[in-house]
């Protein structure tokens, strides 16, 4: 299985709930390594740029308003099959549909305030990682 990198964001709701450590523990237990991390208060323009792929969707404005409602923790995770593994740990987008034991089932309140973001493919992971981290601030090990 290939070693991959994925971009993980703990969204404002989960940062406000003070569960950053609990979420990071799940990544570590699944053999995902944190190789870069920063806490960021996104500007509107930064959030719009990050979610540009959803710009035409009806939920875009709510999504952007939510993502700028407080600081987020942005992390690069590395490990075997990291992209899908991280998506599995997150659970379904709508926490009501997320499997028991997933991050969204345990920590998210709604489809808008859904605790975490994760890249959905290798190409988007590369773009999203570069959006937040210069190559020299990523510490693979
Ligand atoms: P994310 O990008 O945040 O990891 O979430 P995702 O892949 O599971 O879901 P995606 O389709 O990429 O949607 C991005 C975020 O937009 C909000 N959303 N709201 N009201 C709705 O129907 C709706 N659909 C999506 C969610 O907060 C989702 O995480
Ligand atoms: Mg997505």
DSSP-assigned beta bridge partners for residue 111: none
60 is an annotated ligand-binding site residue: no
Q: Which residues contact 88 (CB under 8 A, 6 or more apart)?
A: 102
Q: Is the CB of 139 under 6 A from ligand 1?
A: no
Q: Ligand 2: distance of its center to the CA of 136 in Å? A: 26
We report the CATH number of the domain holding residue 118 as: 3.30.70.141
Confidence of residue 117 (pLDDT cuts 50, 70, 90): very high
- What digits encode the pLDDT tens for the residues 45-65? 999 999 999 999 999 999 999
Helix ranges restricted to H, 72-119 = 82-90, 103-107
- In short, whether 111's Cβ falls inside 6 Å of ligand 1 is yes
Q: Token digits for 119?
A: 């890249």
Instruction: Give the number of other CB atoms < 10 A from CB of residue 2.
Output: 8
Number of domains in the chain: 1
DSSP 8-state assignment for residue 9? E
CA-nearest residue, atom 22 of ligand 1: 59
Binding site annotation covers 26?
no
pLDDT digits (tens, 9 = 90+) for 89-109: 999 999 999 999 999 999 999
Q: Is the pLDDT of residue 134 over 90?
A: yes
- The neighbour count for residue 63, using CB atoms within 10 Å, is 18
pLDDT-derived band at 1, boundaries 50, 70, 90: confident
* Cβ–ligand 1 contact at 114 (below 6 Å): yes
Euclidean distance between CA atoms 135 and 141, whole angstroms:
14
User: How far is Cα 43 from Cα 54, in angstroms, rounded to an integer?
Assistant: 17
Domain around 106? 3-137
Pairing of strands 3-10, 33-40: unpaired
The complex's ipTM works out to 0.95
């Amino acid at each position: 299985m290939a070693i991959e990198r994925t971009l993980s964001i703990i969204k404002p709701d989960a940062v406000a709930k003070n569960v950053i450590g609990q979420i990071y523990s799940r990544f570590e237990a699944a053999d995902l390594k944190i190789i870069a991390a920063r806490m960021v208060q996104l500007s509107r323009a930064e959030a719009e740029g990050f979610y540009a792929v959803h710009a035409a969707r009806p939920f875009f404005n709510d999504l952007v308003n939510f993502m700028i409602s407080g600081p987020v923790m942005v992390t690069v995770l590395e490990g075997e099959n990291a992209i899908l593994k991280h998506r599995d740990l997150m659970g379904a987008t709508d926490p009501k549909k997320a499997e028991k034991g997933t991050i969204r089932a345990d920590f998210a309140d709604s489809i808008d305030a859904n605790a975490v973001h994760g890249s959905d493919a290798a190409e988007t992971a590369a773009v999203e990682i570069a959006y937040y981290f210069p190559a020299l601030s990523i510490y693979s090990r």
